[in-house]
Structure 1
Amino acid sequence: MAELLLRNVRLPRDGAAVDVRVEGERIAAVAPDLAPREGEEVIEGKGGLLLPGFVESHAHLDKTLWGLPWRSHAAGGRLENRIEDERRFRAESGHDAGRQAMALALAFLERGTTRIRTHVDVDTGAGLRHLQGVLEARQRLRDVMELQVVAFPQSGLLMRPGTADLLRAAMREGAEVLGGLDPQGIDGDAAASLDLLFGIADEAGCGLDIHLHEPGEGGARTLDAILDRVQALGLQGRVAISHGFCIGEVEAPRRAALLDRMARLQIAAVTVGTPYRGVPSLLECREAGVVLAAGNDGIRDAWTPYGSPDMLERAMLVGWRNNLRRDEELGFAFDAVTSQGALACGFSDYGLQPGCIADLVVVDARHVPEAVVVRPRRELVISRGRIVVREGVPSASATILGFNTPGA
């Protein structure tokens, strides 16, 4: 990687015009009027808005049908219906999780997302096959993307004997985070499910990201049980609650108490901004001191026909779901797909300061609120110091990785 000098871009917080020098994978300097060096590639930013690479905090790359022929959505309305429908489809179709993960990850990259936390199904039907495919994709992407893998028991932990051992094996294979799913709603025994899940995490020395779809007060009781275990095991700062619908469904005093405990235990909330369920309020989370990050969940898979690998679109949808209208509030929605996402997932060396990994995006917008609402073309994307989009044209997917990205 040669040195790069990005000239004439504007910082997102105050609009100040600066140049950015990149040396290797890192930002070396951010200042006005940096003098070009001999042999340094100079890129003209044309006064564009400089943004940090986006963070996708909740994906399911292994599930996606991105780039494949349309599949009509056939599952029933219950969570269990969708789990079983997906299991049948993937078994019958010979779904290639590694290839599909690569296809969607590259589509994210071309739209400016440089760091992804992805949940990967581990169960007694597929074993570690999906995980191994995603780990192979992670290895191929390592020079242009940080892909963090969560070993996820999509069919439940207690429901299928042998799942716990597969999760232990997944952590040994290279997953960084342990996932969980509805300890009461799916497993039917929150105490036993959480004891086993936290026991595996303790053995592996890893953090957790738990899908919690359970509604209302029942979900709040499960969340309390999770918080109790985080406190007892000293896992502060290493646990995230994905979806957390119950937080948005209980009464205000109960919600405030839950958010207060989550803040004190440094537990992050990860939201999709779901339109059909209660969701954690972005403004209430910020006021309580709870990190709130955003992700897409599934994108065009057996669960849903919806979704797009564009984190500016996700920020817009989260802002819309939370009825955010003021410029400052739209900035909060942007934080959910950038700095708050990095905090929730533990991605290090993130930002626009010297010393940070050089993950940079330039768009034609006056400021962050406009970027969130308009979702302009990515004029330039630099990931880990490598140019992957130039003048709106992807330049790295095939060249760097030798892989043709399927369209959608």
Structure 2
Amino acid sequence: MLVRNVRPWGRDAVDLELADGRIGGIAPHNPDLPVAAGIDGRGQLALPAFSDVHVHLDSTRIGLPFREHTGAPGVWGMMLNDRNNWRHAEVPLPERVEGTLRRMIAHGTTRVRSYAQIDVDCKLEKFEAVLAAKEKLAASVDVQIMAFPQAGLLLEPGTVPYLEESLRLGATVMGGIDPCHLDRDPVRHLDIVFELAEKYQVDVDIHLHEPGHLALFSTELVMERTRALGMEGRVTLSHAYELGNISEAATARVMEGMGDLDISWATVAPATSGRQFNLAAMTSAGIRVGLGEDGQRDYWSPYGDCDLLSRTWQLAFTHGLRQDELIEHAAAIATWGGAGIMDRGLARLGSTTDRPGLAVGDRADLVLLAGETVTSAVMDRGSDRTVIHDGRVVADQLELA
């Protein structure tokens, strides 16, 4: 397939030849090509497709009426709000999950790492809903499912066997959450997480909302286990925003350790009261940084619209980015950065000027966007989009093909 007249990362117009799911050739745009030859990019921007590496598909209310927010503060209060309400939604959970994933694809996301809450209340019901959507839409999107103990591992007896069963059934990431703050036994919590990950040869992703020095302590324990078990390149910290609020020396030490162990960071670009992690510094330290939307208009919050381009704008805004180079770097994080978390065979972003993903031999997962520049596309967040996955069009103008 030929994709004519597109501008990779806003550069000069080219024609892309796609073959066997890869970019097979790149040539300067030839305006004399027949109009019927392939896809007319109309001078649009071409970027790698978006990668949402932190989303809770299992709690979505996308497409349903807005409801009053009834959650109490804190992780446990929010979890109980979801637990008390998710079964009573207007549409069954499998339909909600599939509909949300379809909308994400339509907006340009072709790689997704989704949490699936597993506890003694929902058991495997949420996991099965995410698994069904993954299998149904496998031709249009890559989905990794995380076995996630949203209610902790130790607070409710019987949780761990359900988590292990999900790993047997196809979950490819083992999750953990606030080892100190929630379960109040970080050693036992992380022992279980890493033991299951090692047993089933899956990645680890630790949800970390903990404040300051608790977050630092949990992170040091994660690093210790990553090194001891030889799991370099297989561990992610999600949120972990408080690591930017400890001393500068401690933050620098954490970043150096994450880079050395190839521990990645997934952010949802929250508005925090303290310092944000410096994205340029993290990239310079060799840390893979990815972006996600978190919840989608669910029982935790009314935010989320299935559009990672909107969340790219939020990433740039919350980090105070204004220069084109840095806003484009935010777009690189939202696309290639997340892809490198899901597939550690992909190179890490090397600097704030690195614009990978559109070279000969790269996977033909692309999103075509209207915009004069990458920065303008992030600011305008238009609906004129074409989404290509494995060399074929899977969505156009926000509709699945």
TM-score w.r.t. length of structure 2: 0.92
1-side partners of 2:73 and 2:146: how far apart? 25
Deviation at 1:115, TM superposition (A): 0.7
2-side partners of 1:130 and 1:374: how far apart? 35
2:42 is the counterpart of 1:31: no
For 2:282, the equivalent position in structure 1 comes to 285
- Of 199, 208, 212 in structure 1, the residue corresponding to residue 195 of structure 2 is 199
1-side partners of 2:32 and 2:116: how far apart? 44
**Conserved 8 A contact 1:97-1:134:** no
- Of 2, 9, 16 in structure 1, the residue corresponding to residue 12 of structure 2 is 16
- Of 177, 184, 190 in structure 1, the residue corresponding to residue 180 of structure 2 is 184
1:339-375: per-residue Cα shift (whole Å, max 9, x none)?
Answer: 1111122276792223333222212212212212221
**Conserved 8 A contact 1:112-1:378:** no
1:190-227: per-residue Cα shift (whole Å, max 9, x none)?
Answer: 01111111111111111101100001111111111111
**Conserved 8 A contact 1:378-1:389:** no
**Conserved 8 A contact 1:209-1:241:** yes
Any residues of structure 2 matched to 1:8-407 within 5 Å, and which? 8-12=5-9, 15-33=11-29, 41-93=37-89, 96-278=92-274, 279-346=276-343, 351-390=357-396, 392=397, 394-396=399-401
2:2 is the counterpart of 1:5: yes
In structure 1, list runs of 5 or more residues that go unmatched.
397-408
2-side partners of 1:12 and 1:146: how far apart? 23
Do the aligned partners of residues 93 and 361 (structure 1) sit closer, same or farther apart at CA in structure 2, a change above 3 Å counting?
closer
2-side partners of 1:101 and 1:237: how far apart? 29
Q: Which secondary structure state, in structure 2, belongs to the residue aligned with residue 338 of structure 1? A: helix
Counterpart amino acid of residue 369 in structure 1: T
2-side partners of 1:125 and 1:246: how far apart? 30
In structure 2, list runs of 5 or more residues that go unmatched.
347-355
TM-score w.r.t. length of structure 1: 0.91
2-side partners of 1:93 and 1:55: how far apart? 28
Do the aligned partners of residues 115 and 254 (structure 1) sit closer, same or farther apart at CA in structure 2, a change above 3 Å counting?
same
Would you say how many aligned residue pairs link Structure 1 and Structure 2?
391
Do the aligned partners of residues 347 and 229 (structure 1) sit closer, same or farther apart at CA in structure 2, a change above 3 Å counting?
closer
1:56-115: per-residue Cα shift (whole Å, max 9, x none)?
Answer: 110011110011122211011121110111111124449733221211111111111111
2-side partners of 1:159 and 1:313: how far apart? 36
1:169-198: per-residue Cα shift (whole Å, max 9, x none)?
Answer: 111101111111111111011011111111
Q: Which secondary structure state, in structure 2, belongs to the residue aligned with residue 115 of structure 1? A: strand
* Bigger Cα displacement from structure 2, 349-358 vs 177-186: 349-358
Please give the root-mean-square deviation of Cα atoms over the aligned residues, in Å.
2.2
2-side partners of 1:92 and 1:50: how far apart? 42
Q: Which secondary structure state, in structure 2, belongs to the residue aligned with residue 150 of structure 1? A: strand
**Conserved 8 A contact 1:53-1:360:** yes
Counterpart amino acid of residue 96 in structure 1: P
Q: Which secondary structure state, in structure 2, belongs to the residue aligned with residue 203 of structure 1? A: helix
Deviation at 1:386, TM superposition (A): 2.6
